[in-house]
């Protein structure tokens, strides 16, 4: 049986921290699906298509990694794509508290799907898409925070 994992997020934009977690997680699974979530309560800076394209460009040489947009419950999307695992990246302890609450809810909804947490490498722990968007909005240079494929 193929080990399929979903790494959900908004990836608005994808950062070097995201890339770090994806690269390290890819070896753990047969297939890693990057689920670019469409959240009705958030107004993204970049389209889902653009975010998926960046992920495709970054990981074009790794056939185990794919990106796709989705709406609705993450757990329902896992079932749709056959994912037995959900991957969540953790930067700080506060991230864990929030992510554990979601993982507990998902476990109640679908106990057969396991949530795994992977901490990002220390050099990327301060990078967040929210902060990167703030730098972009204010005309700053984000080259230190995003992969070279992320151009706008």
Catalytic residues: 18, 42, 91, 129
- What span, in angstroms and rounded, lies between the C-alpha atoms of 53 and 47? 10
Beta-carbon count within 10 A of 33 CB: 23
- What span, in angstroms and rounded, lies between the C-alpha atoms of 28 and 89? 14
Q: What is the CA radius of gyration of the chain?
A: 15
* Tokens found for residue 17: 């921290």
- What span, in angstroms and rounded, lies between the C-alpha atoms of 80 and 125? 31
- What span, in angstroms and rounded, lies between the C-alpha atoms of 151 and 93? 31
- What span, in angstroms and rounded, lies between the C-alpha atoms of 75 and 14? 22
- What span, in angstroms and rounded, lies between the C-alpha atoms of 58 and 100? 29
């Amino acid at each position: 049986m193929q080990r399929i994992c979903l790494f959900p997020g908004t990836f608005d934009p994808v950062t070097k921290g995201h890339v770090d977690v994806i690269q390290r997680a890819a070896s753990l699974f047969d297939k890693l699906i990057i689920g670019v979530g469409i959240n009705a309560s958030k107004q993204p800076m970049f389209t889902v298509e653009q975010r998926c394209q960046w992920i495709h460009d970054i990981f074009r040489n790794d056939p185990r990694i794919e990106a796709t947009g989705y709406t609705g419950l993450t757990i329902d999307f896992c079932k749709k794509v056959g994912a037995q695992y959900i991957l969540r990246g953790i930067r700080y302890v506060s991230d864990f508290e929030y992510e554990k609450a979601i993982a507990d809810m998902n476990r109640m909804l679908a106990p057969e799907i396991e949530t795994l947490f992977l901490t990002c490498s220390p050099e990327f722990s301060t990078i967040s898409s929210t902060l990167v968007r703030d730098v972009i909005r204010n005309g700053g240079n984000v080259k230190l925070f995003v992969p070279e494929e992320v151009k706008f």
